[in-house]
Amino acid sequence: MIKALAAGALLVALVPHAHDFTVSEAQREFRGRTGLPLVRFAAASTPEVTSLRTRPHNTGRFGEFQLFVLKPSRVRHLRRVFTHGTRGDARGVHWVPDQAGGWIAVTLFRRNLVLAWFARARSTDARWTRLQRAVSGFAPPLSGPRS
């Protein structure tokens, strides 16, 4: 019994805990991976969500996107809001229509990050792939289909 408890305690100590990002940490990590600063986008932010984007907001390297930092206590609810409750595809992308007639590829990341990439059609390209790799470098995605 004692050996089992000791093994369980060791396992808990070795498994990394989920990390909640602050806005400044998300900005620092993104800039460190890409060389591009993210600025706060006040018009798309609320007390529960801070929206970050590049300036200019549409770049040749990544396209148009926003990285959202969610209030940790509201992550579960806000993920459903951002995905409209849709199920992710095999890559974990939740496709949400935007108000301009295009699509938003929404990807959920651990712990409190959500990435929204704007597309004219319901498909991704090399810009999306580069962006996903950059963010995945500091925040693992919640991969696979999720509702």
Is the residue at 14 inside a domain? no
Confidence of residue 18 (pLDDT cuts 50, 70, 90): low
Tell me what the mean pLDDT of segment 74-85 comes to: 96
- φ, ψ (nearest 5 deg) of residue 105: -90, 110
Is the residue at 102 inside a domain? yes
Q: What is the pLDDT of residues 27-51, one digit of tens each?
A: 999 999 999 999 999 999 999 999 9
Give the highest mean pLDDT range of 12-16, 19-23, 141-145. Answer: 19-23
Is the residue at 83 inside a domain? yes
Is the residue at 104 inside a domain? yes
Q: How far is CA 146 from the centre of its chain?
A: 14
Structurally, how many domains does the chain consist of? 1
pLDDT at 146 over 90: no
Is the residue at 109 inside a domain? yes
Range of the domain at 91: 19-136
Residue type, 118: F
Tell me what the mean pLDDT of segment 113-141 comes to: 97
Q: What tokens does 70 get?
A: 């969610």
**What's the pLDDT at 19?**
78
